[in-house]
Every structure is written in C-alpha cells, then in structure tokens.
Amino acid sequence: DPTTVRALDRVSAGAAQMVLVSIPDEFAPDQQRAQELLSTQMACLHILRQRRQPSKQVGARERDVHVVVTAPFIPPVEVLHGACFSPRNDFAIRLLALSALHPGIARVYQELLHSSSGSELYIRGIEAWPWLHGLNFWEAGKYFDNAVVLGWFEGDGESSKICLHPPRDHVIRAGVRLILLAQDSSIKCSRRDLRPRTVAAAPTTNDMTEASQPRVRTSWTRGRKVLV
C-alpha cells in the first residue's frame, strides 16, 4: 500500500534519491479523491525523508531529493510540496523510469531532442550516395566520416516503416532513406571505405633468426643416416 509510511519504509523510499509518483488513470473522473491520494503519498515521503535524509529537501537542485509526479490531471502547487509535475504521457513515464535506473540516459535524450545544440537526427535519401546500394547496414556505416548510421526509413504515410539498429547483414535497397546522427547537416559520405587499414606487423628479430636457421631432418637410406 503506497499510502502508508510502513509500506513505503519497507522499500526504503525515504532513502531514494529519485522518486516517481504515478497516479493511475482510474482516478481521473474523481479529481478530489486523486488529490487526496497524492497528498497522502507526498506526506508519507516527507516523513520518511526526514527520518533517512534529514539534511536534504525535495527540489530540483543536484543534492536535493528529486520527486516527479505524473497524474491524469494538473495538481495544485501546494499538493506537490516541491515535487516536479509531468503530464500524463507513456513516453515521459518510460523516460523518467529509465532515468531513475540509469541516470546517464537523460543526458543522451537531452542531446538528441534538444534542437539548438548538440547532435541531431537527419534523414537522407540513398539516391545521393548510389555507391551504397547493395551494401549491408554494417558496411554502409564505414563510409560516413562525420555521421553515425542508426537505421532506415522506407515508404510514406501509413505504409511507412522505420527500423532502428537493424541486423548487420541487412542489405540497403533503392528508395530507402537512412537515419543518421550527426553534429550538423553537412553529412559527408565517402566513396571508399573509411575503416582503418590493418598493417601486418614486421617480423621480430627472433622470428627472423628462427626463420633463417636451416632445419635439420634425418632419414635412413639403405642403412645410412642422411642429413637433409
């Protein structure tokens, strides 16, 4: 029961650095009841935080306890008690949950979705680079100097298909548009493979010495021992 201090204390909610409070959609018709549920949960978290982390506050600073509330309605500010509110959205909930499990992934999404700086996603038709026709996905990625091939986009409208991280042996067909991650729109695709060439190591002194030494093999011919 997430509305009791004892139940939340069993899962160490008071010691958590990030807490996600999600109000189910079934409470959407009765907002008063939903606000009471949210107020009870926030009060329980406040009590547990004072017990386990008395020097911290609920807020958005780096050392604060980060509490994010998702609900099918917009709660009053006094109910949040310093928590951050996020509108009800499946993508936002998944992103918040992933950020709690893997703190670094939030920076990755910020880099991808922030349009004014950092790397961005671009879609380019394969017609601009006809030498990529017939190559598989793994080979095509080695022809780009300043971009990373993430997948492909094919078709239009309801019949369109998007594939991210396809199999390495997936062959690029005509009419396919590539999804690329690049710093800017000046994407360069070389006509040759840009992967580093491996140079055979020169033989060591020991190898040359061993190779230069004659090998001695003995054999018997009509009762006589012969060196070969």
Dihedral sign, CA of 138, 140, 145, 150?
A: negative
Q: What pLDDT does 207 receive?
A: 47
The residues, any chain, with a CB within 8 Å of residue 163's CB and separated by 6 or more, are 151, 152, 153, 154, 170
Q: What pLDDT does 228 receive?
A: 39
Residue 58 banded pLDDT, cuts 50, 70, 90: confident
Q: With the CA atoms of 88, 91, 93 and 99 taken in that order, what torsion angle do they form, in degrees rounded to the nearest 10? A: -150
Q: What pLDDT does 64 receive?
A: 83
Mean pLDDT, range 84-109, rounded to an integer: 74
Stretch among 31-35, 87-91, 138-142, 172-176 having the lowest mean pLDDT: 87-91
Cα distance between residue 84 and residue 28, in whole Å: 19
Mean pLDDT, range 22-42, rounded to an integer: 83
DSSP string, the chain: -TTSHHHHHHTTGGG-SEEEEE--GGGSS-HHHHHHHHHHHHHHHHHHHHHH-TT--BSSSTTSBEEEEEESS---HHHHTTPEEEES-HHHHHHHHHHHH-TTHHHHHHHHH-SSSS-EEEEEEGGG-GGGTT-BHHHHGGGBSSEEEEEEEE-SGGG-EEEES--TTPBPPTT-EEEEEESSS---B-SS--SPPPPPPPPPHHHHHHHHSPP--EEEETTEEEE-
* Residue matched to tokens 């190779």: 211
- Please give the mean pLDDT across all residues of the chain: 77
